[in-house]
């Protein structure tokens, strides 16, 4: 059967996150962007909503079960508040959910409780590499078999909180296949480089890292299920796409309210079809991609073979949608949209990043 309504539990979660997004993230997003980070107490408050905790079973320190659909709803609601804030709060999911999805029981028991017990901790994933045609399907960071373990060498960027992370999930190519390795933050050969200076998501501190012959044990490679990281990467595409939907929804609502308020030539600019049609098309675009995100998430939950393709298409659509919607939001505000007092220029900068944020969050 088809269904297009979150269940009661999901609805409650979305409402709780909605309050956090509206009361904490949106009001603080401007300053966080200017200052280059979110205050730890805001991140902690978001963490206490329990999105990741509710995705893990009790045996591994959580109190629920993994659902990509629920995760997508949560990611959308968080990013409605702020994309960088959402990525910060959910950064540990980029470490924990691949362990849950692709790790062995031993790896889950070892790592998951550490991540989710008590307060937010800066666990993160290192996926993206400094290359114009980067793709997680063809990584330059290499893993070589080395005795019982592996040696990792390469360069990563866009690694959130790398300077404080207790451990990172490093994606690397092993015999041509993308695999993930748990690397402690203090591993020998791991160097934390400069903080990335990006077009957007300024409130998320991300770093260059270098891996020079970093040796890890055999147990560091996620090896619980099928080989490769196809499913966690699909879950990441869905999560990023869901965040793009939430952020775009915020941009749309802001531009819509502004257009109803702002008058020109004797009436609200929203009363002119040139503006009203833009707003209508933005709403249609957002809803269309939201449904693709939900479907891909549902397919992941059902374990369907087409899930990775759907997740990829959802993210391709979401990246275009986010750029279209956020660009138009700036356009509707006119010159005011270009001024940093209004959030639309920030959404536009964040919007362009969607396609690059591979592996930074998972659902």
Partner 1 sequence: MIEFSMPDSIKKTVTMVEAVAENMMRPTSREFDDNEHEIPWDYINFTHEAMSAMGGGSLAPTDEGKPKDRPSIAYQRLAYMIETLSWGDAGMYLCTPGGGLGAAAVEATGTPEQKARFLERFQGDKPVFAAMAMTEPQAGSDTSAIRTSAVRDGDEWVLNGEKIFITAGHKSMEDTPGFVVVWATIDPKAGRKGMRPFVVEAGTPGATITKLEHKLGIRVSDTASMVLQDCRVPFENILGSPEVETESTKGFKGAMATFDATRPLVAASAMGIARGALELFKDLLAQEGIEIRYGLPRSRLSNLEREVIDMEVMLHSAWLLVLKAVWMADQRKANAVASSMAKVRAGDVVVKITQRTVELMGPLGYSRDLLLEKWFRDAKINDLYEGTGQINRLIVARRILGYSRRELD
Stretch of 1-9, 74-82, 144-152, 206-214 contacting partner 1, by CB under 8 A: 1-9
Asked if residues 97 and 41 have their Cβ atoms less than 8 Å apart, the reply is: no
Looking at 148, 175, 188, 273, which residue binds partner 1 (CB under 8 A)? Answer: 273
Task: With beta carbons less than 8 A apart as the criterion, state whether 143 and 216 touch.
Answer: no
- Minimum Å gap between C-beta 121 and partner 1 is 31
Of 213 and 226, CB closest to partner 1: 226
* Separation CA 266–CA 275 (nearest Å): 15
- Cα Rg of the chain (Å, integer): 20
Which residues within the stretch 277-316 sit at the binding site for partner 1 (CB under 8 A)?
277, 279-281, 283-284, 287-289, 291-292, 294-295, 297-299, 302, 308-309, 312-313, 316
Residues in the chain: 363
Residue 223: count other Cβ atoms within 10 Å of its Cβ.
16
256 binds partner 1 (CB under 8 A): yes
Instruction: Determine, following the binding rule CB under 8 A, whether residue 4 of this chain makes contact with partner 1.
Output: yes
Shortest separation between residue 101's beta carbon and partner 1, angstroms: 17
Q: Which two tokens stand for residue 301?
A: 């939950």
Cα first-last separation, the chain: 23
Query: Does the footprint of partner 1 cover residue 265 (CB under 8 A)?
Result: no
Minimum gap (Å) between residue 133 Cβ and partner 1: 4
Interface with partner 1 (CB under 8 A), residue from 7, 23, 48, 212: 7
Angle at 28 between CA 332 and CA 55, to 5 degrees: 100
With CB under 8 A as the contact rule, which of the stretches 15-23, 120-128, 177-185, 273-281 interacts with partner 1?
A: 273-281
Check residue 135 for interaction with partner 1 (CB under 8 A): yes
Distance CA 295, CA 320 (A): 18
Contacts to partner 1 from residues 94-133, by CB under 8 A: 132-133
**Both tokens assigned to 242:** 């869901």
- Give the strand pairing for 167-174 and 177-184: antiparallel
Q: How far apart are CA 274 and CA 180, in angstroms?
A: 49
- Give the residue, chosen from 62, 160, 317, 353, that forms a contact with partner 1 under the rule CB under 8 A: 317
Element (H, E) at 208: strand 206-216
Q: Which is nearer to partner 1, 114 or 356 (CB)?
A: 356
Residue 61: CB minimum distance to partner 1, A: 27
- Written as six digits, the tokens of 262 are 């702002």
**Residue 159 three-state SS:** strand
Which residue in the set 51, 270, 300, 324 belongs to the binding site for partner 1 (CB under 8 A)? 270
Contact residues for partner 1, defined by CB under 8 A: 1-7, 10, 69, 132-135, 137, 256, 259-260, 270-271, 273, 276-277, 279-281, 283-284, 287-289, 291-292, 294-295, 297-299, 302, 308-309, 312-313, 316-317, 320, 355
């Amino acid at each position: 059967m088809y269904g297009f309504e979150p269940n009661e539990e999901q609805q409650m979660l979305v409402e709780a996150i909605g309050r956090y997004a509206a009361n904490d993230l949106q009001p603080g997003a401007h300053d966080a962007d200017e200052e280059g980070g979110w205050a730890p107490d805001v991140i902690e408050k978001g963490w206490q909503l329990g999105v990741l905790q509710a995705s893990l079973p009790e045996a591994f320190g959580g109190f629920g079960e993994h659902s990509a659909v629920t995760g997508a709803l949560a990611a959308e609601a968080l990013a409605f508040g702020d994309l960088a804030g959402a990525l910060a709060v959910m950064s540990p999911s980029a470490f924990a959910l691949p362990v849950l999805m692709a790790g062995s029981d031993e790896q889950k028991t070892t790592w998951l409780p550490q991540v989710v017990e008590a307060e937010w901790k800066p666990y993160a994933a290192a996926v993206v590499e400094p290359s114009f045609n980067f793709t997680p399907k063809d990584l330059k960071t290499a893993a070589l078999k080395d005795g019982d373990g592996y040696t990792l060498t390469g360069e990563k960027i866009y690694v959130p909180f790398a300077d404080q992370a207790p451990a990172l999930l490093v994606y690397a190519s092993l015999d041509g296949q993308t695999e993930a390795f748990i690397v402690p933050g203090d591993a020998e050969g791991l160097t934390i480089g400069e903080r990335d200076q990006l077009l957007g998501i300024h409130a998320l501190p991300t770093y260059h890292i270098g891996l020079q012959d970093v040796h890890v044990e055999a147990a560091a490679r996620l090896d619980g299920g099928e080989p490769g990281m196809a499913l966690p990467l699909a879950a990441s595409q869905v999560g990023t796409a869901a965040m793009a939907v939430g952020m775009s929804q915020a941009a749309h609502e802001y531009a819509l309210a502004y257009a109803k308020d702002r008058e020109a030539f004797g009436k609200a600019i929203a009363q002119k079809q040139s503006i009203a049609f833009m707003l209508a098309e933005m709403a249609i675009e957002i809803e269309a991609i939201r449904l693709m995100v939900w479907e891909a998430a549902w397919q992941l939950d059902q374990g369907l073979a087409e899930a990775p393709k759907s997740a990829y298409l959802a993210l391709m659509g979401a990246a275009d949608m986010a750029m279209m919607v956020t660009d138009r939001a700036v356009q509707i505000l006119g010159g005011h949209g270009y001024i940093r007092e209004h959030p639309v220029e920030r959404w536009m900068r964040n919007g362009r990043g969607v396609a690059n944020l591979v592996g930074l969050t998972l659902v």
